[in-house]
Structure 1
Amino acid sequence: MRAFAPVTLGHGGRTLRGWQLGTVARNGSAALLVHGFGSTDTGGQQLFVQTARTLAEHGSTVRSYSRLGHGTSDGDFADITIGDEVDQVVAMIRTLAADAAGPVHVVAHSLGAVESAMAAARVPELVATLTLWSPAGVVVDDIARHDRIQGQPLARAREQGWFDFGGMALGTAFIDEVTAGLDVYATIDRYTGPAEVLHGTADQIVPVRYGQRYGEVLPGATFTAVEGADHGWSSVPWRRTLLDHLVASTGGGAR
């Protein structure tokens, strides 16, 4: 079994840290994995480790980073914003595409899927396929319309200057950006390439209708509702479904 090797990427004077499985070959198949809100480069319950090994078996080199303020990357979770994270994903795509001398497959989960769709719209020529798992467009409605995050009210966060996200302090810049009118769907139709959206019907964090919307807005998208699946795809059969779809949609790793 091939080993995971450390990789780094500079962004705004700070360093993103992650890993790569395989060696990037010019004009070879390469995939970028983009994690969700508060997660890391390995994904929840090793989702991205499983994904990388599956893609590697089919000939792809796979790379994954923790965004700033996540995992072992520089930065503080308190300072994150969606806008800056989109910039980071664009930098990840550009770097991997330059190394591979061609467009790359982008595979993303939850908030990372939201940000990856926005990033793909900025550099569509560098994205071979876009795969979104449980895209968390709900974050905008939760904050802007309901003044909450995952059911927790934001009033206390405004009083103390941070929101307690499972033991990690999220600063109000993230909240303020959304309430200022952030539209995560506004430009994503600029990416017209192949896209696949999968969403569990039993997702209690992001209702399935948000995945359906991405399937409708992205011009080249297909949408699949996976019966009974939750947000983290926390069963072996559900993950097999994800990875079988991924191998098929990326051409088994072929560009």
Structure 2
Amino acid sequence: MSRDPRVSPLTLDHDGRTLRGWQWEAPEGASADAPRVLLVHGFSTDATGGNQLFVQTARHLAERGAVVRSYSRLGQGLSDGGFDEITIGDEVDQVVRMIRDFTGGEGVHVVAHSLGAVESALAAARVPELVRSLTLWSPAGVVVDDITVHDAIQGQPLAAARAQGWFDFGGMPLGMAFIDEVTAGLDVYGPVSAYTGPADVVHGTADAIVPVAYGARYAELLSGATLTVVDGADHGWSSVPFRRRLLDILDARLGLAG
């Protein structure tokens, strides 16, 4: 039986509030030249990822010698703040802070899912010199079209939110600041081309939340990107074979032995 990775709690200050997360590394500790991997979760999830996606990813990478960090952003998981306060712009700032804190002078491999992938692409463009590679799983650029074209979030109309001042996302109240930021003209695409390093965009054909075209757009904008389309994969990568495919691509990018 393989030994479990070493798991340590983390905190990170962001403008006086605390982000909480975890660091995974090999049981005997990481080597000085171990690759540093930052995982960035999607909308409304947390540092563990949906259905333990990030726990599985972190354990896999730690077993191969990487040091892996994952934080819950403010208003999500056990971090400070409320879900009603979040905005994409502030979450990009949080990801930049995570990268800066983790780099150690060697740079960080950023792996992100869904809305976190959108925010991580924007963050990487802000500090490209600190990002060794960028991996985007199902990047949810659709958030802009959902709100500005369809007046909805994941199929739920926004009319009630405007009347009551908040959007009910599965029992979590999302504040109007999130919606107003998007309708004011938030650009989730243009800035990302400032990151020119290695990148992988991976998207499933059965993604009912974010069509493949949105992943393909990020692959076009990122000059160093490779697009992989996985037949039948959904937004949460909710099968063992689909997740193995994600990890195979990630191993190849990081140069980690099986």
TM-score computed with the length of structure 2 as normaliser? 0.95
1:233 positional shift:
0.1
- Offset at residue 179 of structure 1 (A): 0.1
Q: What letter matches 2:163 in structure 1?
A: E
1:53 maps to a residue whose letter is: R
Q: Does residue 11 of the first structure (1) align with residue 14 of the second (2)?
A: yes
Q: Using the alignment, how far apart are the partners of 2:128 and 2:33 within structure 1?
A: 17
What one-letter code is carried by the residue in structure 1 that aligns with 2:23? Q
1-side partners of 2:198 and 2:44: how far apart? 28
1:181-206 deviations in Å (ceiling 9; x for gaps):
00101110110000000000000000
1:156 matched residue in structure 2: 160
Structure 1: segments with no counterpart, 5+ residues: none
Question: In the aligned structure 2, how far is the partner of 1:24 from the partner of 1:16?
Answer: 23
Q: Counterpart amino acid of 2:155?
A: G
Deviation for aligned residue 1:53: 1.0
User: Of 80, 85, 99, which aligns to 1:93?
Assistant: 99
Q: Is the 8 A contact 1:24 1:30 kept in 2?
A: no
Displacement of 1:2: 1.9
Aligned partners of 1:158, 1:24: CA distance in 2, in Å?
50
The whole-number CA distance in structure 2 between the counterparts of 1:151 and 1:87 is 28
Asked whether the equivalents of residues 167 and 175 of structure 2 are also in contact (C-alpha less than 8 Å), the reply is yes
Q: Percent identity?
A: 70
Relative contact order, higher structure (CA 8 A, sep 6+): 1
Contact kept in structure 2, 1:27 and 1:101, CA below 8 Å: no
CA contact (8 A) 2:14 2:94 kept: yes
Using a 3 Å threshold, how does the CA distance of structure 1 residues 28 and 101 change in structure 2: closer, same or farther? farther
1:128 to 108, 124, 132: 132
Aligned partners of 2:165, 2:30: CA distance in 1, in Å? 43
Distance 2:166 2:46 in 1: 21
Provide the alpha-carbon RMSD of the alignment. Answer: 1.1
Q: Does 1:119 align with 2:123?
A: yes
How many angstroms does 1:28 deviate by?
Answer: 3.0
- The answer to whether residue 60 in structure 2 is matched with residue 41 in structure 1 is no
How far apart are 1:3 and its partner, in Å? 2.9
Local SS of the residue matching 2:243: helix
State the partner residue of 1:59: 65
Amino acid of the structure 1 residue aligned with 2:187: D
For residues 180 and 18 of structure 2, the distance between their equivalents in structure 1, rounded to whole angstroms, comes to 25
Question: How many residue pairs end up in the alignment?
Answer: 251
Within 5 A, what are the aligned runs for 1:60-75? 60-75=66-81
Distance 1:58 1:127 in 2: 20
Maintained 8 Å contact 1:26/1:101: no
Q: Using structure 1 for the length normalisation, give the TM-score.
A: 0.96
Amino acid at match of 1:65: Y
Q: Which one of 213, 217, 230 corresponds to residue 217 of structure 2?
A: 213
Counterparts of 1:139 and 1:38, CA distance in 2: 13
Q: What is the distance in 2 between the residues matched to 1:25 and 1:187?
A: 35
- Asked if 2 retains the 8 angstrom alpha-carbon contact of 1:202 and 1:227, the reply is yes
- Pair 1:166 & 2:166 matched: no
Contact 2:5 2:63 in 1 (8 A): no
Aligned to 1:50: 56
Matched residue SS, 2:190: coil
| 1:230 pairs with one of 224, 231, 234 | 234
State whether structure 2 residue 181 is matched by structure 1 residue 177.
yes
- The runs of at least 4 consecutive aligned structure 1 residues that moved more than 2 Å come to 23-28
Matches of 2:205 and 2:17, distance apart in 1: 38
Shifted more, 207-216 versus 80-89: the winner is 207-216
Provide the C-alpha distance between the structure 2 equivalents of 1:116 and 1:155, rounded to a whole number of angstroms: 30
Aligned to 2:207, which of 196, 203, 206? Answer: 203
SS at match of 1:17: strand
Measure how far apart 1:9 and its partner are.
0.2
Q: Give me the whole-angstrom Cα distance separating, in 2, the residues matched to 1:72 and 1:24.
A: 26
Q: Does 1:137 align with 2:141?
A: yes
- Match runs of 1:96-107 below 5 Å: 96-97=102-103, 100-107=104-111
